[in-house]
Amino acid sequence: MAIDIKIFKTSLCAFWVLLHLCASACLRLCGFCVAKASASLLLLSVSLPGDAYSRASVIDPRETERRNPWTASIDLASPLEMVDVINAEDRIVPDAVATQREEIARAIEIAEGCFRAGGRLFYVGAGTSGRLGVLDASECPPTFGTDPEMVQGIIAGGLPALTRAQEGAEDVVENGAREMDSHNVGSNDFVIGIAASGTTPYVHAALRRAAELGAKTGIVSCSALPEGAASGLDIAILPIVGPEVVTGSTRLKAGTATKLVLNTITTGAMIRLGKTYGNLMVDLRATNNKLKDRSERIVVEVCGVTREQARALLEAADKSVKTAIVMQKLGLGRDEALAALERAGGVIRRAIPDAPPPVPA
């Protein structure tokens, strides 16, 4: 019986992917169990009675404010035990984020649509949440060659809050709404509020005002939202990671989960916009020696040229990796390559007919 080679290769690839996922899951589970076993030893010295703990753990409905039974006696642990316990808790985060895969994918689609319409993405948060928004936004220009206005982070208390806590800034409701007005938020924009506890007044005020101005709105929270808080939002991403190692310290699991979510949204949207070719960042800005070297290596790999030829191509392309690739592949000058990319919506695969994927050697 004849074997369809294409089907065989596809099936074999799928088998290896499945095998890898199963093996990875088993290793994560084993590591989690070992660390949790170490953590459970701490419970032997918990001084808070069980019924008292139960009462204390439900005083606050916010997941991020509850006490974590696995770390109730962490102050009695050795440094190595602390590492094991914290690492065990951190292992919860990726799986919590995975439960929100469909919502995150929807956020990517919304962001892409807004960008294509000339709109912007805003992150709005306070404290750690605000800093994470600013961090993700600030990485987009060097990584994807975007205008700094395209993705922006807004933090309660302004720039001083990036390095020093601005106490009470998250409670000033009018400032959240005012930021939306001062940034001229409109119908082509997407505003994502970040609130680990799900209740930050500054964030919810910003979201309400953004919706009034016609923007798409969403929230990232590591606690279930209060009743009615999600009404009017286009999307709610809720990776519930459970109580923190140190009660209420949302710079830990909640912060990690938030960073994973934000990374995925912007990375996914930028890939959809053609900011990568395969997994190569072809729209990067070579603002330092490391990035200049990376630019040259990308052109060498994709075009099959020498370093010297890559440098010459980049010079002719005004340092644009994407333009250099199209110039070399299609035998075009810079202006012609730019026009081809414009017609292709900035996507290399559309600009170069039958472009093969850039597979690592």
Predicted pLDDT at 11? 54
Is 139 annotated as catalytic?
yes
Predicted pLDDT at 171? 78
User: Look-up: residue for tokens 């170490």?
Assistant: 38
Residue ranges, CATH 3.40.50.10490, the chain: 97-272
Predicted pLDDT at 56? 46
- How many Å is the Cα radius of gyration of the chain? 24
Q: Helix H segments across 58-91?
A: 79-90
Rounded Cα–Cα distance for residues 235 and 216 (Å):
9
Global confidence as pTM: 0.82
Of 81, 103, 139, 212, which one is the catalytic site residue?
139
> Strands (DSSP E) along the chain, which ranges?
121-125, 151-155, 190-194, 216-220, 235-237
Rounded Cα–Cα distance for residues 314 and 311 (Å):
5
Task: Give how far Cα 246 sits from Cα of 50, 70, 71, 82, 89, Å.
Answer: 19, 10, 8, 11, 11
Task: Give how far Cα 16 sits from Cα of 4, 10, 24, Å.
Answer: 18, 10, 12
Give the pLDDT of the chain (361 residues) as one tens digit per residue.
455 554 544 454 445 445 444 544 554 455 445 445 544 544 434 434 444 444 445 567 787 888 898 899 999 999 999 999 999 999 999 999 999 999 999 999 999 999 999 999 999 999 999 999 999 999 999 999 999 999 999 999 999 999 988 878 887 888 999 999 999 999 999 999 999 999 999 999 999 999 999 999 999 999 999 888 888 899 999 999 999 999 989 999 999 999 999 999 999 999 999 999 999 999 998 889 999 999 999 999 999 999 999 999 999 999 999 999 999 999 999 999 999 999 998 999 999 987 766 666 5
Task: Give how far Cα 142 sits from Cα of 137, 149, 273, 283, Å.
Answer: 10, 13, 16, 9
Of 63, 112, 170, 296, which one is the catalytic site residue?
170
CATH architecture of 289-351: Orthogonal Bundle (1.10)
List, in sequence order, every residue forming a beta bridge with 236; answer none if it has no partner.
Answer: 219
Rounded Cα–Cα distance for residues 224 and 148 (Å):
32
Distance of CA 215 to the CA centre of its chain: 21
Q: Which CATH code fits 97-272?
A: 3.40.50.10490
Rounded Cα–Cα distance for residues 361 and 358 (Å):
9
Predicted pLDDT at 43? 44
Is 102 annotated as catalytic?
no
Rounded Cα–Cα distance for residues 311 and 203 (Å):
47
Query: How many Å from the N-terminal Cα to the C-terminal Cα in the chain?
Result: 34
Residue ranges, CATH 1.10.8.1080, the chain: 289-351
Predicted pLDDT at 359? 64
Rounded Cα–Cα distance for residues 258 and 252 (Å):
10
Predicted pLDDT at 1? 47
DSSP-based three-state secondary structure for 193 = strand
Predicted pLDDT at 146? 96
Token pair, residue 73, equals 């006696």
